[in-house]
Amino acid sequence: MRLILIGFGVVGQGFAEILRDKADELAQRYSFKATIVGVATRSRGALYHPAGLKIDTLLKAIAQGHLNHYPNTTGLKRDVDIAAILEQADADAVLECAYSNFDDAQPALEYCRTALRSGKHLVLANKGPIALAYHELQTLAREQGRQLRFEATVMAGTPALQLAREGIAGSHINAARGILNGTTNYILTQMERGMAYEEALAQAQALGYAEADPTADVGGWDAAGKVLILGAALFNQQWKMADLQVEGIEHITRKDIEVAHEKGERWKLLAEATPEGGKVRPVRIPQYDPLATVQGATNAITYTSDLLGHVTLVGPGAGRKETGAALLDDLLAIQRYGE
């Protein structure tokens, strides 16, 4: 499978490392072989080589700050125009892993359209295009006979979307409720252990959990983006941010956390979606609630459905290899369901 990566930050690099480290295992178990032919970033250069780019060399170059540190080889093209590469390159799938923007999802949304129109499968870790334009992209993918997959956008590599859309496809889901932002859950957990808010946020950033602009995390907007994605993918809705009730954790103090603790409760930033609408807000829940036991950057989601009642999935919701893993799983699904 020939791949183009748009964005080469924490997630793109995590994915590239997995591809490098698991190459033999993936070839043996699934006859899966992937080559990165293009990597395009907004401010750190863009490379294309029809014969494939070397992952170790790519990682070294980006660690030095810019893809221009990738050494010259015959056939290598530098500073390529992203749209032109998407249109012209011989590639099977485009992985959109630039950072999420919920205002207009650009320029990623336009790249997604171009990738699908030029007959490539599209896999996203970037939440913006799915949150804002899922139906349009899905229609385009169907018209082109290509797959649109975005497991990474909700709970990283923990298969929250796959569980709902494939695992329990015969059940009618009435509601999804969970902890869908790793950064805020990490901060709340650390504050419970006595750490100051700012220090906990700095740690979440250092660990690669937070968004490029962490106000999206602490303000509840990242979780809200995931509610938009759940609304579209599970309930066939196309809500806008303005349709949701969104509140973050900025106003939760250590004192609030202590008071809750004395009453046997914990603060959690809960995200909820039903066919009628969605919301994100901090809620005090009893410590015996399964969601109260979810600690650190771990996420959880409970689906309520007609046949199964409550089904809860708990697992990583952010992180370098944890999100990179979702991109790999989507590519394996593309291979499994036919290219």
Residue 219 Cβ, how far from ligand HSE at the closest point, in Å?
A: 12
120 is catalytic: no
Assign residue 266 a region (left: φ > 0; alpha: ψ between -120 and 50; beta: otherwise): beta
* 182 forms part of the interface with ligand HSE (CB under 6 A): yes
Kindly state the tokens that stand for 120. Answer: 């490539």
**What is d(CA 299, CA 225) in angstroms, rounded to the nearest whole number?**
15
* 327 forms part of the interface with ligand HSE (CB under 6 A): no
Pick from 32, 70, 150, 209 the residue near ligand HSE by CB under 6 A: 209
Give the DSSP per-residue string, 194-214: T--HHHHHHHHHHTT-S-SST
Residues near 130 by beta carbon (within 8 Å), at least 6 away in sequence: 124, 137, 150, 153, 228, 229, 232, 233
Residues near 58 by beta carbon (within 8 Å), at least 6 away in sequence: 8, 16, 36, 39, 47, 67, 70
Interface stretch with ligand HSE, choices 31-39, 115-123, 210-218, 273-281 (CB under 6 A)? 210-218
Pick from 46, 148, 176, 210 the residue near ligand HSE by CB under 6 A: 210
DSSP 244: S
Amino acid, single-letter form, for residue 309: G
* 217 forms part of the interface with ligand HSE (CB under 6 A): yes
Tokens 């609030």 -> residue: 256
Assign residue 264 a region (left: φ > 0; alpha: ψ between -120 and 50; beta: otherwise): left
Residue 257 Cβ, how far from ligand HSE at the closest point, in Å?
A: 19
Kindly identify the residues of this chain, within the stretch 28-87, that bind ligand HSE according to CB under 6 A: none
When the beta carbons of 85 and 249 are compared against ligand HSE, the nearer one is 249
The 98-137 contact track toward ligand HSE, x by CB under 6 A, reads ----------------------------------------
Q: Which of 226, 268, 279, 321 is catalytic?
A: 226
Interface stretch with ligand HSE, choices 30-38, 160-168, 176-184, 301-309 (CB under 6 A)? 176-184
* 317 forms part of the interface with ligand HSE (CB under 6 A): yes
List residues near ligand HSE by CB under 6 A: 156, 181-183, 209-211, 217, 222, 317-318
